[in-house]
Amino acid sequence: MQLERASGVLLHPTSLPSEYGIGEIGGEARKFINFLEKGGFKLWQILPLNPVGYGESPYQSFSAFAGNPLLISLDCLRKEGLLSRRDLADAPSFPKNKVDYPFCREFKSRMLRQAYLKFKSKGLPSSDFAEFKERNLFWLEDYAFFMALKERFGNIPWNYWDKSIALREPLAIKFWEERLEEEVNYHLFLQYKFFSQWQNLKEYATEKGIRIIGDLPLYVSYDSSDAWVHSHLFELDEAGYPLKVGGVPPDYFSPTGQLWGNPLYKWEEMAKNDYLWWRERIKVLLELVDVIRLDHFRGFEAYWEVPATEKTAVKGRWVKGPGEKFFSVITEYLGDLPLMAEDLGFITPEVIELREKFNFPGMKVLQFIDREPFPASVTDEGNWAYYTGTHDNNTLLGWYEETILAQLEAEHREKWRENICWEFIELLYQSRAQWVIIPLQDLLELDAGARMNIPGTVGGNWEWRFQKGDLKRKIAKKARSLQQKYAR
């Protein structure tokens, strides 16, 4: 994929304002798209849209295919007649600047169940609903069944369920399918509504000239419908427990590395049916987004394998990934795909060769200029995206205060300029990079308190939200002037 000069904003939908505790894909999402249009932006980058699991992380999801029901717009359900104003009038007072996941989940689950009952009373087998189920046969029923079982067993990981159903014995599957039919239908309804609402939002973005960049994590969570249903594709023992898990060795973020705990793939097994699971996963995501960012791209060339018994990622080893064969097969089936590579961290010549062979744009991050060639000095054609920071970084202002200013002698700190964020942003705009992506926190000039995630930690992450009124006209005007000045 060859990029054309453009700029965009990184913002996950959970960070949008709403009255119901978490960002939703309704009216406020459209207002954000309007802001992008006014600012001359052509790109909206998001994190994975899947239902969040451990640590509320979008990278630890219950499914590599499903959408996050917490993002469903309650106001849109009300307009459909599935909720009433009276239903929503009882909404508690949620924090405005962060997501309180347990608090929010309790309220939204109650509302979504009410909407389902109204939907059911109108008749489940509508033609649109039937078509949605037919189109998503590969994953949808399995996911809905998995979630119904998960709730039935108190939300514990699937390997702790009754052994017969954990190991998917046919009689156990029949037994539970009969008893959980209603719960399964509820989860089918949630996915139907999520995908319907997101498609409406994506069409709106397209009308406004905004392309959406989605995120495809390399790994899936162990506690997921994917690992439960397709256990033969993962490094699991006969009882379903992980044998080897993913992570990265000691790096900038952590002296003991990052132990993600995701089960590793049996790539040779996946190759037997030409990576069908991956092909279906990419097809579903491309219904939701225009471009896919391949998270942890280097893992396709070689990945860090850690025994599941280890407490840190230190005692791991590099293992060759599927590499060129994988992308050749995927391309053979799906054609040339709009893929870009997250090629940050420990990158070898082999990783660069793989990326360049398939012409995948890469990434560079301003906050990493002490460890990578400064992009202004790069002489390639600029087929990469340049970020002030990613969801794993500090905010630009937080980084400047804690890293740059902290290293200066007191008398030099008076050189601090209030518009330092915009000076850095302009540096990116005038660079050779075809794409420039700015986290919204940096456009708003927010400090470290607005950080989205601190890698290697659990708790307090993925919570940040901006508030109504933050997207001021002067910010859009300032951004648009930069787009015009530097032909983006």
Active site residues: 295, 342, 392
Determine the 3-state secondary structure of 364 from DSSP: strand
Burial (CB count within 10 angstroms: exposed 0-12, middle 13-18, buried 19+), residue 345: middle
Contact indicator for 262, 245 with CB cutoff of 8 Å: yes
Q: How far is CA 188 from CA 72, 131, 193, 219, 336, in A?
A: 13, 12, 9, 24, 31
Q: Are strands 302-307 and 244-248 parallel, antiparallel or unpaired?
A: antiparallel
Please report where in the chains the tokens 């309180």 appear, as a residue: 100
Residues 248, 304 contacting (CB under 8 angstroms): yes
Residue among 486, 477, 7 at smallest CA distance from 213: 7
Q: How many CB atoms lie within 10 A of CB 358?
A: 16
Provide DSSP, 371-411: TS--GGG--S---EEEES--TTSPPHHHHIIIIIGGGS-GG
| Adjacent-strand bridge partners of 306 | 245
Structural element, H or E, at residue 435: strand 435-439
